[in-house]
């Protein structure tokens, strides 16, 4: 058996071997055929070469390499980062178009810097030639290298360097370095800069060539990447980012707005900065010294860097003998004339109004202290005149926009300025008050459907590059039904007729009476009637420069909204009426957002709100008589004042001056003050203090002894009541405060001190929230009845820290 299988195996082996041999033979034949085929091919087509001469080789190598380099050059262009970064990039690239040796003043720093100084205004007012080199989150390293770059091309004229130092506190992200240095033209300096922020040869090479740095964008390339010239870059802004939106009007609700910290105090603390930031800051300082440039460092008003950082920067400035202007402090704050709610875009950046004031100050300083040159009319500076004209036409146009009170006027302006793209979205009833003339004018402008707008129709439009690109209107069917139901037909005769028909008042039958109805009556009447269909319009697309937009107008009681999204960011005011958002394609940002609701009083900018509020208050209006928006502003100011007041008071009082504290807080307008003793506090209150307390009317408190319970309540300066009980006897007071005006109708409170079992305890509860701490002390809760918010909770512990006696 075994032999047999062995035979079989062997036989199989032989067979396999012979198969192998056969296969080999076949293969060789194939090869032979193959190679002969080769010869045949080469004979026929003569293309497979066998030998290339040395000269031929050299020529081919040179040619191939050149081809490669050309393609490489173009590939770099295609992969450059997206439009959103184009902003910074384009601004910096424009710098290279400036005639050599003309720039005298360079502004460095992060986004705060390029929101602060307006080179064109400096030219217009003082004839200065300045340029803004800021970029988003510009690290100090990048500021240094841009300074060097500026010097490289404008060394003969460069005299002044102004730098905003907000970035010193921050920890920069890597992308900020990229965004800052990418726009620099390839040069030895750029290689050095890229190397210094990468510290590695491979990373350096990566970031010198956009193809290497951004090739991974291959799966998100868009048409815009291949059309670099379609995005026309204007150079008149000279690096400044033009923005007229106001923080407290456009971007935040008043109750979301951050109350600034206020720095009446200076203190001595300092804070360590990042080594790298300090290193490059020193390099900037040294470079300016070496090249005899005036260096000024500053911090724009609006958001301080904090006292410790301020001190650190001041020390740095003093050590190096350079001026440091922190515009959050006097006298600079007043000199600039900065008004917080209206001169900021958000919590940190100045808007155009603020920048205008700041630039004025800076320009004057440069002329008076640094001897900056007036270059108007000088040879070689003619380009600045052209830029000034462009500046007026493009940027200041927005200011003219804001002057427009009439929607037609406004929209017409956005059409005639072809650099703008505007988006119209309707919310609520935007039709009732439209006059026939306005409708006719809309028709003339090309907004045919807008001319036919009826109450509660949804409407959206996109105007791009001077003509109406999309326009959509949707009639609200339910409303139509109900209109018919109520026996109302469409009547174009008179606007006032429509008001009369819609009011629920059956007595309204004459035009005079109808005129007397306020718009609110009419509006409220309508809102009761309508259900919520989902007829809304959504327009999505791309502008001629590739910006992605989405406009929504939906009118119904539940979904009634108007929104405009640009590159994913919503910027429509979404208020009742005709909402318009204006986008400047040249700058690449929204420049204005307006609402035309002709029933309301005109409120187009933050300044308007300010004015309206002061007018209303001067006219004697009470809080409840103000409109909702003005109320919010009013509350904001109260909160702001409260914070400022308490900060100053705390600084003054420390933890020992009970008398001053109490007397000050009691005096405040519409404050309620709760006083409560928890634990042993009698000891440590001296005679003078007690006398003072008695003068305030706090007789019980002036006689308080160790182990006494105590509560007291002041309302609007008047002592409502005070109680004292020995041996921690339980005393309590609960009640309700009814403020005359303010956010809340009632404020519930519940105070107690001591306990039934005669142990130390105490609490102050307002609207269900406990404000007293767990430890021993004399607690004082200060409450603003208008904002219905705590102003302060203060604790004195006389046993631990005896109270001040003088």
Partner 1 sequence: MSFTDYLFFPLFLIYAALYHITPKKIKWFILLAGGIAFYCTYGAELLPFAIGACLVAWVGGVAIGKRYEKFDAALSPEATKEEKAKHNAKAKKGAKGILWLTVALMLLALVFVKTQSWLVPKLFGEGRIPVMVPLGISYYTMSLVAYLADTYWRKVKAEKNIFKLLTFTMFFPKLLEGPIARYQAFEKQLSNPKGFDYITFCHGLQRMLWGYFKKMCIADRLSVFVDTVYESYKTEYGSMLLLATIFAAFSLYCDFSGCIDIALGAAEALGIKIEENFKQPFFSESAAEFWRRWHITLGTWFKDYIYMPIVINPRMLKISGSIGKKNKRVGKAFMSVIPLLVVWLLTGLWHGTGINYIIWGLYWGILIIISTVFAPELKKLMLKVTGLLKVDPDGAGYTAFKRLRTFVLYLISRMIVLSGSVMALGVVIKRQFVAFGPWKLVDKSVYGYGLDRPNFWLAVLLIIFLVVVESKQNKGVNFREEIDKKNIVIRWLVYLFAIFFVLIFGMYGGGYDAAGFVYMNY
Draw the binding track, 611-630, toward partner 1 (x: CB under 8 A; -: no contact).
--------------------
> Which among 200-208, 379-387, 413-421, 733-741 is the span making contact with partner 1, rule CB under 8 A?
200-208
Instruction: Indicate whether 30 belongs to the interface with partner 1 (CB under 8 A).
Output: yes
Draw the binding track, 155-194, toward partner 1 (x: CB under 8 A; -: no contact).
----------------------------------------
- For partner 1, the closer CB: 56 or 477: 56
Instruction: Indicate whether 760 belongs to the interface with partner 1 (CB under 8 A).
Output: no
- For partner 1, the closer CB: 222 or 486: 222
Instruction: Indicate whether 448 belongs to the interface with partner 1 (CB under 8 A).
Output: no
> Which among 111-119, 139-147, 210-218, 323-331 is the span making contact with partner 1, rule CB under 8 A?
210-218
Q: Are strands 420-427 and 577-584 parallel, antiparallel or unpaired?
A: antiparallel
Instruction: Indicate whether 486 belongs to the interface with partner 1 (CB under 8 A).
Output: no
Q: What are phi and psi of 147, to 5 degrees?
A: -60, -45
Number of residues that bind partner 1 (CB under 8 A): 40
Subset of residues 31 to 50 that bind partner 1, contact rule: CB under 8 A: 31, 34, 38, 41-42, 45, 47-50
> Which among 60-68, 109-117, 231-239, 368-376 is the span making contact with partner 1, rule CB under 8 A?
60-68
616 to each of 103, 246, 624, how far by Cα in Å? Answer: 48, 21, 11
Residue 192 C-beta: closest distance to partner 1, Å: 17
Instruction: Indicate whether 60 belongs to the interface with partner 1 (CB under 8 A).
Output: yes
**Can you read off the two tokens belonging to residue 4?**
């047999």
- For partner 1, the closer CB: 97 or 202: 202
Residue 197 C-beta: closest distance to partner 1, Å: 13
Q: Are strands 671-678 and 709-715 parallel, antiparallel or unpaired?
A: antiparallel
| CA distance linking residue 194 with residue 681, whole number of Å | 65
| CA distance linking residue 802 with residue 175, whole number of Å | 55
Instruction: Indicate whether 3 belongs to the interface with partner 1 (CB under 8 A).
Output: no
Instruction: Indicate whether 12 belongs to the interface with partner 1 (CB under 8 A).
Output: yes
**Distant-in-sequence, close-in-space partners of 287: CB < 8 Å, separation ≥ 6:** 144, 147, 148, 151, 293
What is the sign, positive or negative, of the torsion defined by CA atoms of 91, 97, 100, 104?
negative
Closest of 450, 470, 417, 391 to residue 592, by C-alpha: 417
Residue 433 C-beta: closest distance to partner 1, Å: 50
CB-based burial label for 260 (10 Å; 0-12, 13-18, 19+): middle
Instruction: Indicate whether 57 belongs to the interface with partner 1 (CB under 8 A).
Output: yes
Closest of 271, 258, 257 to residue 170, by C-alpha: 271
Instruction: Indicate whether 315 belongs to the interface with partner 1 (CB under 8 A).
Output: no
Q: Are strands 467-474 and 536-542 parallel, antiparallel or unpaired?
A: unpaired
> Which among 27-35, 90-98, 184-192, 387-395 is the span making contact with partner 1, rule CB under 8 A?
27-35
Three-state DSSP class for residue 511: helix
- CB–CB of 431/499 below 8 Å? no
Closest of 341, 339, 336, 340 to residue 357, by C-alpha: 336
Instruction: Indicate whether 212 belongs to the interface with partner 1 (CB under 8 A).
Output: yes
Residue 534 C-beta: closest distance to partner 1, Å: 29
Which listed residue (52, 440, 544, 748) binds partner 1 by CB under 8 A?
A: 52
- For partner 1, the closer CB: 15 or 651: 15
Residue 57 C-beta: closest distance to partner 1, Å: 4
**Distant-in-sequence, close-in-space partners of 375: CB < 8 Å, separation ≥ 6:** 102, 104, 123, 127, 128, 129, 381, 384
Place of tokens 């420069």: 545
Three-state DSSP class for residue 259: coil
Q: What are phi and psi of 114, to 5 degrees?
A: -80, 5
Instruction: Indicate whether 96 belongs to the interface with partner 1 (CB under 8 A).
Output: no
| CA distance linking residue 733 with residue 722, whole number of Å | 9
- CB–CB of 370/635 below 8 Å? no
Residue 47 C-beta: closest distance to partner 1, Å: 5
- For partner 1, the closer CB: 218 or 774: 218
Instruction: Indicate whether 510 belongs to the interface with partner 1 (CB under 8 A).
Output: no
Which residue ranges make up the site for partner 1 (CB under 8 A)? Answer: 5, 9, 12, 27, 30-31, 34, 38, 41-42, 45, 47-52, 54, 56-57, 60, 64, 67-68, 71, 75, 79, 201-202, 205-207, 211-216, 218-219
């Amino acid at each position: 058996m075994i032999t047999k299988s062995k035979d079989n195996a062997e036989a199989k082996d032989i067979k396999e071997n012979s198969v192998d041999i056969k296969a080999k033979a076949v293969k060789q034949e194939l090869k032979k055929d193959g190679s002969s085929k080769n010869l045949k091919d080469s004979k026929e087509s003569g293309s497979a070469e066998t030998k290339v001469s040395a000269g031929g080789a050299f020529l081919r190598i040179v040619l191939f390499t050149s081809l490669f380099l050309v393609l490489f050059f173009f590939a770099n262009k295609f992969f450059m980062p997206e439009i959103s970064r184009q902003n910074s990039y384009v601004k910096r690239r424009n710098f290279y178009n400036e005639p050599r040796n003309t720039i005298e003043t360079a502004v460095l720093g992060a986004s705060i810097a390029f929101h602060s100084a307006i080179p064109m205004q400096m030219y217009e007012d003082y004839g200065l030639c300045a340029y803004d080199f800021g970029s988003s989150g510009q690290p100090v390293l990048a500021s240094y290298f841009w300074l060097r770059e500026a010097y490289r091309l404008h060394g003969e004229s460069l005299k002044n360097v102004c730098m905003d130092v907000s970035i010193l506190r921050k920890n920069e992200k890597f992308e900020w370095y990229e965004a800052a240095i990418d726009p620099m033209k390839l040069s030895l300096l750029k290689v050095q800069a890229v190397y210094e922020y990468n510290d590695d040869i491979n990373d350096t090479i990566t970031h010198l060539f956009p193809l290497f740095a951004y090739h991974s964008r291959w799966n998100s390339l868009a048409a815009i990447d291949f059309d670099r010239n379609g995005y026309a870059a204007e150079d008149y802004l000279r690096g400044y980012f033009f923005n007229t939106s106001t923080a407290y009007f456009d971007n935040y609700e008043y109750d979301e707005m951050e109350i600034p910290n206020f720095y009446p105090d200076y203190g001595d603390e300092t804070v360590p900065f990042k080594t790298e930031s300090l290193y490059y800051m020193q390099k900037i300082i040294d470079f300016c010294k070496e090249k005899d440039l005036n260096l000024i460092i500053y911090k724009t008003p609006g958001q301080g860097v904090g006292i410790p950082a301020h001190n650190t920067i001041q020390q740095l400035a003093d050590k190096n003998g350079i001026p440091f202007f922190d515009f959050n402090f006097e006298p600079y704050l007043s000199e600039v004339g900065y008004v917080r709610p209206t001169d900021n875009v958000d919590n940190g950046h100045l808007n155009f109004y603020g920048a205008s004031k700041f630039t004025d100050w800076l320009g004057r300083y440069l002329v008076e202290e640094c001897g900056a040159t007036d270059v108007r009319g000088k040879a070689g500076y003619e380009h600045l005149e052209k830029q000034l004209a462009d500046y007026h036409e493009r940027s200041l146009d927005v200011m003219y926009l804001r002057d427009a009170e009439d929607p037609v006027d406004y929209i017409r302006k956005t059409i005639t300025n072809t650099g703008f793209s505007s988006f119209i979205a309707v919310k609520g009833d935007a039709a009732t008050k439209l006059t026939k003339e306005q409708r006719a004018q809309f028709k003339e402008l090309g907004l045919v459907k807008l001319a036919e707008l009826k109450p509660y129709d949804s409407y959206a439009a996109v105007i791009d590059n001077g003509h109406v690109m999309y326009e959509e209107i949707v009639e609200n069917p339910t409303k139509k039904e109900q209109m018919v139901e109520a026996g109302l037909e469409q009547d174009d005769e008179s606007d006032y007729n429509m008001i009369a028909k819609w009011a629920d008042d059956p007595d309204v039958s004459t035009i005079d009476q109808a005129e007397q109805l306020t718009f609110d009556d009419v509006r409220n009447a309508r809102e009761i009637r309508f259900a919520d269909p989902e007829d809304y319009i959504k327009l999505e697309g791309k502008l001629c420069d590739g910006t992605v937009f989405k406009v929504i107008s939906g009118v119904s009681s539940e979904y009634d909204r108007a929104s405009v999204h640009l590159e994913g960011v919503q910027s429509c005011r979404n208020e009742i009426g005709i909402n318009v958002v204006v986008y400047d394609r040249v700058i690449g940002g929204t420049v204005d957002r307006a609402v035309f609701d002709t029933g309301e009083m005109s409120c187009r900018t933050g300044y308007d709100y300010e004015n309206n509020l002061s007018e209303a208050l001067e006219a004697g209006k009470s809080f409840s008589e103000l409109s909702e928006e003005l109320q919010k502003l009013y509350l904001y100011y109260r909160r702001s004042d409260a914070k400022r007041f308490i900060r100053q008071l705390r600084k003054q009082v420390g933890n020992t001056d009970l008398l001053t504290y109490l007397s000050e807080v009691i005096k405040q307008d519409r404050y309620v003050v709760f006083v409560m003793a928890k634990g042993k506090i009698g000891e440590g209150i001296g005679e003078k203090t007690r006398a003072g307390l008695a003068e305030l009317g706090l007789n019980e408190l002036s006689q308080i002894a160790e182990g006494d319970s105590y509560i007291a309540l002041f309302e609007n300066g008047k002592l409502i009541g005070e109680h004292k009980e020995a041996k921690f006897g339980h005393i309590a007071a609960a009640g309700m405060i009814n403020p005359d005006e303010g956010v809340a109708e009632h404020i519930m409170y519940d105070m107690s001190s001591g306990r039934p079992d005669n142990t130390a305890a105490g609490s102050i509860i307002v609207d269900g929230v406990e404000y007293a701490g767990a430890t021993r002390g004399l607690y004082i809760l200060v409450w603003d009845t208008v904002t219905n918010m705590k102003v302060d909770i203060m604790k004195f512990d006389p046993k631990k820290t005896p109270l001040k006696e003088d």
